Each structure stands twice: as structure tokens, then as C-alpha cells.
Structure 1
Amino acid sequence: MPTPARSRLLDSPLLAERPRPRAVAAWPHAHWLAVGTVCLGAFLGQLTASITALVFPALQEGFHASLAAVEWAALGYLLVLVALLAPVGRLSDRVGRKTVYLGGFAVFSLASLGAGLADSLAVLVACRVVQAVGGAMLQANSVALVARGVPVAAMRTALGIQAAAQALGLALGPTLGGLLVTHASWRWAFWINVPVGLLGIVAGWYLLPRTRPAGPEPATSAPGTAVLPGGARGAEEGRFDLPGLLLLAGASTCLLLALSTASGLPLPGWAVLVLLAASALLALALVRQEQRADRPIIAPGLVNTPGIRAGLVLALIGYLLLFCPLVLGPVLLAGAGVPVATAGLVITALPGAFAVAATFGGVLLPRGSTDAARCRWGALVAAAGLLASALLPAEPATAVPALLVVGFGLGLLLPANNALVMRAIPAESSAVGGGMLNTVRSLGTALGTALPVLGVHLAGRETGGRAVLFLLAAVGLLAAALAGAAARTARP
């Protein structure tokens, strides 16, 4: 039960959620306007994820920094995002998801403006950290806003549209980044977020339904709307696992700092061993903390279920495979003398094929193929594409077909694996399971950013890039084996 002071805070003009205009709320199809608004946030999050890697060479030149240093423009964002998704989700249950979502657009836009104005790499990374706060406010609420505002019968279609918006942002990022760097400046790769964010604020203000009732309009837009497990009431049960969150963030940060130090950060060599040891100790402490926490971030009971464990590992590998070529590709192509704009078009082949396969890939598989079969086929196809990328010259004519194969394989693999994991998780634990899936996805993305930089630093641009791709192809084959294990042990 909220205290009077908390109630007054929630009802303050700053946090009060405004109802939609009556004409919008009364329209029978108003929920699709809300879905469109959520798609703006989904598009923005994936656009910034895929556009940042393409500006690494320009950041190196502009700030006279190493690749290991400029990669923290991406890693800083990802680490903060991992740390904040869970607490922001809980805060949103109390304050109102519409309020937090609109705040996310505002924070993201202001931080993007600051990132484009940054006069040093340290300021840029700081702005990216703030940008991640806004990203967490958007990402932690997107699915819940769809679930609360859309009739149950339209849920699958609405979530599919949201996924398509994410795929569009992921696919446009490299091309748009290449064009902006070539014809304007790397700063526009961040400024491009500002008009999208402003549009999101205006659209959300008028088109999103109120999520914390305070007047005549109900929290949902239509009868029969769905409510996610672990809603506002569930958020009050048990204490939030702040120690677990801090341990997870600490272990991840130490691991990525160790990889960056080995990749050329100006730190002494012994720092790598110290950071790796610290990461291992923090990870062990995290395991012990999660075993006794009321509301663990990583539930041991779920992780110890073989089908779920294999699926989470497969998700980590899959997102690592997805983002590693997005980081490594521009570096290899730049080394071969390919212009940045052309490199952006080449790299777009991967997320573009991913979007097509995620939406229509099942048509090419044998009729009645299960999600487990899609995982196996996807992992093998992605591994074949990575092997082709490693063996063929780094030039557009050979890189595009190989990246199309990689993207198509991952587009088969990841959505099917996510479905397998969520089906294996009991309904009463679906919120925790979804949070774990988001966590491993973000960690996989971070490793997919750090490992290519390490390979290039240790073995040189060409040799290191090939070594990383060979390694990832082997990981892809391991993913196929894990997919088989998940299929045999997953609960129906």
C-alpha cells in the first residue's frame, strides 16, 4: 500500500499520466496507434545498436584513439542497459509505464544530442551511458505497453509488428551510418535519433493509453486486453534483488574491461589477470546471492532446467554471432580500401536477411518443422556463412552473399530458440524468464562487440578477423548441438 507521501508524488503534475484525446480513445482501432508508437521506440533502440559500430573507424580518427577505446561507446551503453532493465521495469509498475516510456524518449534524445556534440571520447562514452538510461526506459516497457493496450486476439500480430520495427532499425543502421559518415559527419549518427525521439514523445502523449488509472479512462484500451504476468501487484511481492544486480553488473564490467585491456587499452598487462579474477569472484558471489534472493534476477531453479539452460546459452551465442560481423565487417572492409558508405550497404545484408528469415524463413523449411528443427537449421546455416566469410576475400562481391547466409541462419535460429525457452518456463515465472532472456541477449551483444576487437589487436586486422570468424563458425556448430539438446530436454 503506497504511503501518503508516495501517493502525492505519483499524482504530481510531472508524473501524472494524461488521457488520450476522446476521439482517439473512442476509435475502435486506437490500439494500433499505440502499437505504432511503441514501434518508434523499438526502431530507435535497434538503430542505435547497429549504427554505432560503423562509426568506430571515424571515432578512432576523430579522437586519435585505439579501437579498444572507442568500442566503449558501445560497451558502456550495453552494460548500463543490462543493469537497468530490471529496476526500471519495477519502477514503471509503480510510476506508470506511459510516463516512464515518454521519459525514455526524452532522455534518449537529449543524450543523443550530447553525444553528437562531444569534444572528447570520454564525453561521448558518458553521453552513451545516459543514452542507455533512456534506452532501458523504452525497452523495459515496450512489450508491456503492447500487452496492456491490445486485445488478446491481436497480440501475436502486434508483437510481430514490433519485431519488424526492431528488424528495420537493425537493417537501416549500417546503411544510414555509412551515408552519414561519408556525406556529413559521425556526429549525425547520433543526431539522427533526436527527431525520432521527439516524434515518439508527441505520439506517445496523444496515442498511448494511460497505464496508471487516475480518471475516467481505464488502463487498457479495449475489453479483453492482456495483462502480463508479474504486473504491478507482483512487483510489490518480495524485495528487489539489488545485490544480485550489482554483482551481475560488476562481473560483466570486469570481464569486458579485461577483454578491452587485452585489446589495447592503456593499462598494465597484469590488469587483465586481476580483472578476470575479479569477474570470476563476482560471478561466484552472484550464484550464491541468487540462491537465497526472494526475487532473483537469474533464477537458479530455471537455469538448472536443462532445456532452459541450453536455450539461454544458445541465445548468448546467437546474439554474439549477430553483432560480431556488424563490428568486424566495417574494420575488415576499411582495411581492404572499401569506402564507408559502401561498407554500410554491405553490412546491411546481414540484418536485412535476419529480418526476412525471422518473418518468412519457415516457408523454405520442410512442412511442419518444429522450433527445435529451425534452431538446428539456423545454426548450421549461420556457421556455413561464417566459414565462407573467413575463407573468401574481404570485398563486397564476396562479403554480401556470405553475410546474407549468416543473417538468414540467425533469423531462423533466434526467434525459434526464444520461443522454446519461453515455452519451457512455467507461466508463473514468465516475467523472470523473459528478464533472463533479455540479460543474456545484452551480454551476447556486448561480447560480440568486444571479441572482434580483441582478435584484430592480437593477430592483426586481416589475420585476426579471419581467426574470429573461424572461431565463430565453430561456435555456430556448438550452437547446433545445444539446439538439439534443448529440443530433447525442453518441457512441452
Structure 2
Amino acid sequence: MSLASVLTALGGSALNVALPQVVRQTHAGADAASWILIAFQLTTTVLMVVFGRLADMFGRRTMYLTGLATYTLASLLAGLAPDAWLIVALRVLQAGGTAMLLTNSAALVTDAFPRDRLGEGMGVYTASFSIAQLVGPTVGGFFTEHLGWRWVFWYNVPIGLLCLVWGALVLPRARPAGGERGLDLPGNVLVLAGLGGLLLALSEVTRLGWGHPLVAGGVAAFVLALPLFILREGRTRHPVVDIRLFRDPPFALGTTASFLNAAARISVLFLVSLFFQAVRGEAPVPAALKVLPLSVAAMAASVTSGFLQRWLSPRAVAVIGTSLTLTGLAGLLCTISATVPYAPMAAFLVLIGLGSGLFLPSNTTVLLDGVPSNRLGIVNAMRLMLQNTGGVVGTAMVLSVITVPLPAALHDSVFAGTLSQAAPTAIADLVIGYRWALGCMTAVAALNVLTCLHRARPAAGAPAPVDANRGRGQNGSVSAS
């Protein structure tokens, strides 16, 4: 599970560094460059709840292996794509495979760990994503500089085939979890239309404006689908999303914290890597090496998190993590400039990495510990859906805000990493855009600290959890992706 998780997470972090060369060699505009990143996150998000429900019904092993095969095939084809918009389409296919993986991986890992060691197991599993962040920028920079951007996709193929064969041999052929097997097709359609429309509108509003038909249509789809979805889910026997779960304060606050954390920190790696290419004029490999401190710190903190929970509650660890992330983002905001030394930037990246590594496994343990096996897939999918929604919102915000102070004619140069050569006098304006983006991310991180502090307070008289079976089933799990 960890190797496959490294595979899928590696693709995104490597592509962050390779994106400027992809833009240059495919002659892509700023809109296509943005969608190469956003399309993956958006598709993964809207498909989470669908695949979570299907996994509960038909079994996690089959869906997991199908997801691996889909991701590997899409990677092969993306490396052959002749233009940027075809890459966007294949990134959508990759996202479908990733959604199948993420809704199942942690449940499969949990079966291998006794309850008293689960925190440690989840910490190590979470570290696999940090390993991907650690290796990804270097891999992306190396392939881009020496073999070409297509290898950023092609290297996934042999690893994906290895994971596929390995998984087919060792994953147990367990029966699907018991319980109701109905599928709410109208509810799934409403999720795809409403959430997809909202994320589409948020990702394009700065570039196109509120009056553009694409943005207005996305907002309208969300506004129309939301009440219909709530009405539908309150009446159907097989809801896609059990909205009653949000009456449980720990669940509501935990999912809110997941959303805010992702929105605040998900774009840091891309933002910093692009900074050294567009502002400092550095090549992809040196730029990739500059962001390694964040990934190293996140990996170390993820592994440490489970052991730290022997002495501190998971809620306390989550608060510490969010506070470190806030401190790191605020530090970058205060120091970012065209001439800032690397040392303070590296120190603040370390703080963000430590915060992320501590927060993810501890917050997920609080949120999903005790979920019964037959509801694990959909509950975990709800968590991931909101977390990925935060990632899409954060990415769209950053991609839009950093170029606002610049003339529209220079936007393509920013994402191609050539602004320092194309228009050196515009660097000061780009730095202003960076400050605006970091200011937004810092504000979101501060709100997340408040959310986690509120959840950490003893809740006297709090209502009981909605699920009467809340209390770990034999396959209960937490997910830390």
C-alpha cells in the first residue's frame, strides 16, 4: 500500500517541478497549465464518494487493483500526449485511478495492525506521502533536465506494474463488508454536478470573472444541486453521503480541519519551486532541491506522530501540527522577496513540513477511529472529499492570486518559469502576488488552528455520535493520505 501511495503522490510532486517545461514544449497557455494541476485534484475529489460507496459494496481489493491499473495506463498514455489539453484529459483518467486507491488503501493497511499499534502504522503509512514529496521534486527535475518531461509520466509505468502484480498476489480475497448494497445513482449525479460545478467556478473565476458563462454555470450548478442533494440524501435508503454524520461534532470539526489544512498548505511545494524558477531563474533540479526540507520534515514528523500519541492525545498533536504550519506560512509571508536568503525560507519550510506531518495522521485518527467496517469506505471518502476540495480551492487560489499584479501578457511566462528572462522588471510585481497568496494561506491556517483548539476542548454534554455502532469494528480503519 505504501509503495502504491508513493507512486500516485510522486506523480503530482514531480509534475510541479516539470510543469514549466511541459508548458514550453507543448506551447500551452496559462489556462492549460493551471488545468494540468487542477483537473487531477478536481476529478479525484468528485469521485471519492462514488468509489467509497462502491468499495463498501463490492470489496476493496478489486477496486484497489482496478485503480492501480487505471493509473498506470493513464501514465503511459500521458507520456505520449502531443499537446497540453490531451495531458489534462489523461490526468483526469489518472485521477479516477487515484480515487479508487485512496478510498481503500488505509483500510487494507489497518487489517495488518493490532489496535494498540495502529497509530504507529498510520504514521509510517502517512510517511509514504512525505517520501513522495521528498523524492518527487528531485525526480521531476532530473527527468525534465536530462530525459525530458515525458519521463515524469513514464517512470510510473514499471512501478505501477510491480505494485499491480504484488497486490494481486498478496492482498486477501475477502468478502465485501456486509450491509445494504444499494447505490444512489441520482445522488451520485448530484455530487458530480454540484461539487464539480463549484470547483470549476472557483478555479476559473479570477481569470474569467464572475460573469463568464463557465463560471456562472458552475455556480448555478452548485446552487441548484445542493438543496436537491440534501433533500435526496435525507430520504433515500442508500445515501451517497450520510448527512446525519455532520451532527456529530467531532466528525464535523475533523472534516472542517482537513479542508482548512489542505487549503492552507497544499500548494506550498509548487509555489516555492516556481519561485526559484520564475523569480531566480534557476533550472528545475536546483529549484527542486530547494523544497526538500519541507518533505524531509514532513516524513520525519509523520513517522514520529504515532509514537508521540503514546504520551499526548491525537487532538493535542493535531493542534501542535496546525500551529507549526501557521508559523511557517507566516514566516514565508514576512520574508518573501526577490533577494531573500535561502536559509530563512528553508527554516520556514521545515516548520510547514513538521506541521503537516504531525497533523495528518493525528487528525485522521481522531476522525475515523471507531467507524464500523461496513461504513468505512464512505466515511473515509467523505473525509477525503472535503480534504481534496480544500486542496483544489487552495491550488486555484494560489494559481490565480500570484499573477494578479502582472499584466495578462506575462502570465504564461510565470508558469513557464521564464519571467526573470522575459521581463526582469516584472519580478517585483510577481513577488507582490506571492505575498498576497501567502497572506491568504496564512489566514486559512489561522482559522484551522482555531478549529482544532475548539475541538480539543472537553465537550460537556456533547451529543453522542450519530452512528450507534461507533466503536471499532474488526476492520475499522483510519486513513492518512
TM-score (norm 2): 0.81
Q: Match for residue 284 of structure 2?
A: 340
For residues 60-459 of structure 1, the aligned pairs below 5 Å read: 60-92=23-55, 97-148=60-111, 158-211=121-174, 231-234=176-179, 237=180, 239-264=182-207, 269=212, 271-336=214-279, 337-360=281-304, 368-392=311-335, 393=337, 396-423=342-369, 430-459=376-405
Cα displacement (A) at 1:169: 1.8
Cα displacement (A) at 1:105: 2.4
Aligned partner letter, 2:402: V
Task: Return the alpha-carbon distance in structure 1 between the equivalents of residues 287 and 255 of structure 2.
Answer: 32
CA 456–355 in structure 1, closer or farther in 2 if over 3 Å, else same = same
Cα displacement (A) at 1:312: 0.8
Cα displacement (A) at 1:274: 4.0
Cα displacement (A) at 1:362: 7.7
- The one of 429, 437, 452 equivalent to 1:468 is 437
Cα displacement (A) at 1:287: 2.5
Cα displacement (A) at 1:242: 2.7
Task: Return the alpha-carbon distance in structure 2 between the equivalents of residues 159 and 108 of structure 1.
Answer: 23
Cα displacement (A) at 1:40: 2.1
Task: Return the alpha-carbon distance in structure 2 between the equivalents of residues 378 and 118 of structure 1.
Answer: 40
Query: 2:2·2:128 contact (CA, 8 Å) conserved in 1?
Result: yes
Aligned partner letter, 2:454: A
Task: Return the alpha-carbon distance in structure 1 between the equivalents of residues 375 and 284 of structure 2.
Answer: 45
CA 203–54 in structure 1, closer or farther in 2 if over 3 Å, else same = same
CA RMSD of aligned residues (A): 3.0
Deviates more, 1:242-251 or 1:88-97: 88-97
Cα displacement (A) at 1:88: 3.4
Q: Which runs of 5+ in 1 are unaligned?
A: 1-37, 213-230
In the TM superposition, what whole-angstrom CA distance separates every residue of 1:2-53 from its partner, at most 9, and x where no partner exists?
xxxxxxxxxxxxxxxxxxxxxxxxxxxxxxxxxxxx2221111211232222
Query: 2:306·2:361 contact (CA, 8 Å) conserved in 1?
Result: no
Q: Match for residue 478 of structure 2?
A: none
Cα displacement (A) at 1:265: 5.9
Greater relative contact order: 1 or 2 (C-alpha under 8 angstroms, separation 6 or more)? Answer: 2
Cα displacement (A) at 1:131: 1.5
Task: Return the alpha-carbon distance in structure 2 between the equivalents of residues 354 and 470 of structure 1.
Answer: 22
Cα displacement (A) at 1:90: 4.7
CA 293–355 in structure 1, closer or farther in 2 if over 3 Å, else same = farther
Q: Match for residue 39 of structure 1?
A: 2
Q: Match for residue 476 of structure 2?
A: none
Task: Return the alpha-carbon distance in structure 2 between the equivalents of residues 86 and 269 of structure 1.
Answer: 29
Q: Match for residue 447 of structure 2?
A: 478
Cα displacement (A) at 1:96: 5.0
CA 352–290 in structure 1, closer or farther in 2 if over 3 Å, else same = farther
Cα displacement (A) at 1:301: 1.5
Task: Return the alpha-carbon distance in structure 2 between the equivalents of residues 324 and 340 of structure 1.
Answer: 17
In the TM superposition, what whole-angstrom CA distance separates every residue of 1:455-490 from its partner, at most 9, and x where no partner exists?
123234322221111111111111111112112347
Task: Return the alpha-carbon distance in structure 2 between the equivalents of residues 377 and 153 of structure 1.
Answer: 22
Deviates more, 1:188-197 or 1:169-178: 169-178
Task: Return the alpha-carbon distance in structure 1 between the equivalents of residues 67 and 155 of structure 2.
Answer: 16
In the TM superposition, what whole-angstrom CA distance separates every residue of 1:60-101 from its partner, at most 9, and x where no partner exists?
222333333222223222233233334434545666544443
Task: Return the alpha-carbon distance in structure 1 between the equivalents of residues 210 and 379 of structure 2.
Answer: 37
Task: Return the alpha-carbon distance in structure 2 between the equivalents of residues 401 and 244 of structure 1.
Answer: 46
In the TM superposition, what whole-angstrom CA distance separates every residue of 1:118-160 from its partner, at most 9, and x where no partner exists?
1111211111122222223333332333345667676555544
CA 61–284 in structure 1, closer or farther in 2 if over 3 Å, else same = farther
Instruction: Provide the identity percentage.
Output: 32
Task: Return the alpha-carbon distance in structure 2 between the equivalents of residues 123 and 54 of structure 1.
Answer: 19
CA 417–151 in structure 1, closer or farther in 2 if over 3 Å, else same = closer
Aligned partner letter, 2:184: D
Task: Return the alpha-carbon distance in structure 2 between the equivalents of residues 386 and 373 of structure 1.
Answer: 20
Secondary structure at 1:459 match in 2: coil
